[in-house]
């Protein structure tokens, strides 16, 4: 062991090399043998906690021992998001080259606050986001910025919308004023909870979020939206932002962005499109129609960490005019002033976070390694598999679809004749499958009906994996 108490500095590089190889081997085996792990960790709450010492070690430990503990203690408590049978929430997964990107990013350990503290990160971000923009067929006026999560991207979009209202909220705030109308944000009744959280954070409160009724396909009804806005204006409120979703979390439904854009234009409201999940499919030519109207948005969020094989986290916010975001957030302290301020882009100017990880690198690796065609082929296959699964559901009298399948998420339930309480039955089937470790499904409620959600999105998923889930489901029918 070279980690002697009298030695300062980092681990000797010969040791870094040796353990580095060992970790690469361990991860290669992990990717190879993924399917022998239960998808959902099978440990009980507090198992890991109870197996760890209550205090930090006084002296340094050999890294070989620490690595052994990864196998012994961490692995059993891991839920395997990369497993091809992880169908819960949204199925996301990392590619190998995405991991390579994070290795470099961690080793460089750059904080891309200023251009000069990280030219590579700042400029590669611009370049790779422009590549993605072109792949998604978004107009050239969209400029992107990378945040950690869609929750944070969307919060920034709403903050910019709040600023555009011209009420001087950046400087004057909203407390201690009697001149502020109630500000309103509009979204589908099926909108993601991150919008509620953004409204809470921004001081708008949950009452500022007006949720609009959907049709039987779980899509916002534009007429209802227009009516709500008219009502609010009549009541003296101020609409600031409308957030349609392309690929809602519950059912992956598609709000009619083009019709909503008409309404936003009419009333001068910021249009923010949440396509964190489905946005990646805009690169597939035959899926482009879902994105009609996006070209008119003020901002769009899309998450390559969801469905573009890029490890978490990497969320992209595209803005029609990035300077509005800068206007809402830029603030340069003396210790951050540089002589090149006017001529370069400083990432810190576009949001609350000062330091920013070198996230563009992994996306650059992913796009280059797979190429546009390779990415399209993989997403297309996932959508094909989801439709295939949906066709099995449709063809069986014991099962029914609960929502359309525009992308690669299937909402369905068991409905065998004479089954009694369908909600209880479906919840039981899902819990049994999840407990088996063979697959992970999650659920939602649609018109008070319990619906299972099967998401297809792992880079490792094949038809046999869906067949396995289908067998599991049918075996559990009463």
Site for its own copies in 391-430 (CB under 8 A): none
Of 12-71, which residues contact its own copies (CB under 8 A)? 13-17, 19-21, 23-25, 27-28, 30-32, 40-41, 43, 45-49, 52, 54-61, 63, 66, 70
Nearer to its own copies, 97 or 301 (CB): 97
| DSSP SS3 for 299 | strand
The correct pick among 258, 321, 381, 400 for binding its own copies (CB under 8 A) is: 381
Least distance CB 456 / its own copies (angstroms): 13
Least distance CB 330 / its own copies (angstroms): 9
Nearer to its own copies, 354 or 401 (CB): 354
Nearer to its own copies, 45 or 418 (CB): 45
E strands, 180-278, are: 183-188, 209-212, 238-243, 270-274
Question: CA–CA separation, 170 vs 184, rounded Å?
Answer: 17
Q: What is the DSSP letter of 450?
A: E
The tokens of 115 are what?
């251009």
Task: List Cα–Cα distances, 279 to 2, 84, 379, in angstroms.
Answer: 49, 21, 11
Nearer to its own copies, 11 or 259 (CB): 11
The correct pick among 261, 262, 336, 436 for binding its own copies (CB under 8 A) is: 336
By CB under 8 A, how many residues form the interface with its own copies? 176
Nearer to its own copies, 47 or 265 (CB): 47
Contact 441, 453 (CB under 8 A): yes
Least distance CB 101 / its own copies (angstroms): 8
The correct pick among 272, 320, 443, 465 for binding its own copies (CB under 8 A) is: 443
Contact 299, 273 (CB under 8 A): yes
Least distance CB 42 / its own copies (angstroms): 9
Least distance CB 199 / its own copies (angstroms): 7
Contact track, its own copies, 305-334, x by CB under 8 A: x---x-xxx--------------xx-xxxx
Contacts of 263 (CB under 8 A, 6+ apart): 222, 225, 226, 229, 242, 269
Nearer to its own copies, 265 or 463 (CB): 463
The correct pick among 137, 377, 424, 477 for binding its own copies (CB under 8 A) is: 377
Nearer to its own copies, 53 or 420 (CB): 53
The correct pick among 143, 220, 246, 445 for binding its own copies (CB under 8 A) is: 445
- Using CB under 8 A, which of the segments 11-19, 254-262, 386-394, 468-476 binds its own copies? 11-19
Nearer to its own copies, 21 or 223 (CB): 21
Contacts of 210 (CB under 8 A, 6+ apart): 184, 185, 186, 187, 228, 232
Of 130-149, which residues contact its own copies (CB under 8 A)? 130-132, 134-135, 148-149
Nearer to its own copies, 327 or 416 (CB): 327
Phi, psi of 77 (to 5 degrees): -100, 10
Nearer to its own copies, 166 or 418 (CB): 166
Least distance CB 397 / its own copies (angstroms): 27
**424-432 contacts at long range (C-beta below 8 A, 24 or more positions apart):** 425/478, 426/450, 426/451, 426/452, 428/476, 429/473, 429/476, 429/477, 432/476
Question: 275: closest CA among 263, 283, 267, 286?
Answer: 283
Of 149-188, which residues contact its own copies (CB under 8 A)? 149, 151-152, 155, 159, 162, 168-178, 180-183
Q: What are the strands of the beta sheet with 299-302, ordered from one edge?
A: 143-147, 315-319, 299-302, 270-274, 238-243, 183-188, 209-212
Phi, psi of 416 (to 5 degrees): -65, 150
Question: CA–CA separation, 424 vs 450, rounded Å?
Answer: 8
Least distance CB 258 / its own copies (angstroms): 26
Residue 103, classified by CB atoms within 10 Å of its CB into exposed (0-12), middle (13-18) or buried (19+), is middle
| H or E element that contains 97 | helix 96-108
Question: 126: closest CA among 142, 113, 102, 139?
Answer: 142
The tokens of 216 are what?
């039987």
Of 268-307, which residues contact its own copies (CB under 8 A)? 305
The correct pick among 36, 140, 289, 335 for binding its own copies (CB under 8 A) is: 335
For the CA atoms of 6, 9, 12, 15, what is the dihedral angle to 10 degrees? Answer: 90
Nearer to its own copies, 378 or 413 (CB): 378
Least distance CB 125 / its own copies (angstroms): 10
Least distance CB 321 / its own copies (angstroms): 19
Contacts of 468 (CB under 8 A, 6+ apart): 85, 438, 439
- Alpha-carbon Rg for the chain, nearest whole angstrom, is 24
- Using CB under 8 A, which of the segments 223-231, 257-265, 371-379, 418-426 binds its own copies? 371-379
Question: Does residue 262 belong to the site contacting its own copies (CB under 8 A)?
Answer: no
Of 201-240, which residues contact its own copies (CB under 8 A)? 201-208, 237-238
Nearer to its own copies, 163 or 255 (CB): 163
């Amino acid at each position: 062991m070279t980690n002697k108490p009298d030695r300062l500095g980092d681990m000797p590089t010969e040791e870094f090399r040796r353990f580095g190889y060992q970790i690469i081997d361990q991860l290669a085996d992990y990717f190879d043998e993924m399917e022998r792990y239960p998808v959902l960790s099978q440990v009980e709450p507090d198992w890991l906690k109870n197996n760890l010492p209550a205090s930090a070690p006084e002296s340094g430990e050999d890294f070989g021992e620490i690595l052994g503990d990864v196998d012994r203690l961490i692995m059993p408590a891991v839920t395997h998001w990369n497993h091809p049978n992880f169908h819960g929430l949204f199925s996301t997964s990392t590619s190998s080259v995405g991991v390579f990107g994070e290795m470099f990013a961690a080793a460089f350990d750059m904080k891309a606050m200023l251009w000069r503290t990280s030219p590579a990160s700042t400029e590669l971000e611009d370049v790779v986001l422009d590549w993605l923009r072109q792949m998604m067929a978004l107009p050239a006026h969209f400029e992107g910025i990378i945040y950690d999560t869609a929750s944070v991207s969307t919060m920034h979009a709403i903050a910019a919308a709040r600023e555009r209202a011209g009420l001087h909220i950046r400087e004057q705030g909203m407390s201690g004023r009697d001149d502020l109308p109630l500000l309103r944000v509009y979204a589908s009744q099926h909108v993601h909870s991150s919008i509620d959280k953004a409204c809470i954070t921004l001081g708008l409160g949950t009452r500022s979020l007006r949720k609009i009724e959907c049709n039987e396909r779980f899509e916002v009804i534009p007429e209802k939206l227009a009516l709500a806005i008219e009502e609010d204006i009549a009541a003296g409120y101020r609409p600031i932002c409308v957030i349609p979703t392309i690929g809602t979390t519950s059912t992956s439904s598609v709000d009619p962005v083009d019709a909503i854009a008409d309404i936003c234009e009419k009333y001068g409201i910021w249009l923010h499109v949440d396509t964190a999940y489905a946005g990646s499919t805009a690169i597939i030519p035959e899926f482009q129609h879902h994105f009609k109207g996006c070209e008119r948005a003020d901002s769009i969020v899309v998450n390559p960490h969801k469905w573009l094989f890029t490890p978490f986290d990497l969320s992209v916010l595209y803005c029609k005019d990035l300077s509005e975001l800068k206007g809402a957030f830029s603030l340069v302290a003396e210790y951050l002033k540089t002589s090149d301020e006017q001529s370069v882009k400083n990432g810190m100017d576009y949001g609350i976070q000062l330091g920013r990880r070198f996230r563009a690198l992994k996306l650059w690796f992913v796009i280059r390694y797979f190429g546009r065609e390779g990415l399209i082929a993989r997403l297309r296959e996932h959508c094909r598999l989801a439709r295939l699964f949906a066709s099995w559901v449709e063809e069986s009298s014991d099962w029914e679809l609960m929502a359309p399948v525009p992308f690669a998420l299937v909402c369905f339930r068991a409905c065998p004749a004479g089954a009694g309480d369908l909600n209880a039955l479906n919840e039981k089937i899902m819990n049994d499958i999840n407990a088996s470790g063979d697959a992970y499904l999650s659920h939602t409620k649609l018109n008070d009906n319990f619906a299972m959600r099967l998401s297809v999105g792992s880079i490792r998923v094949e038809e046999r994996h869906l067949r396995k889930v289908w067998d599991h489901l049918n075996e559990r029918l009463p």
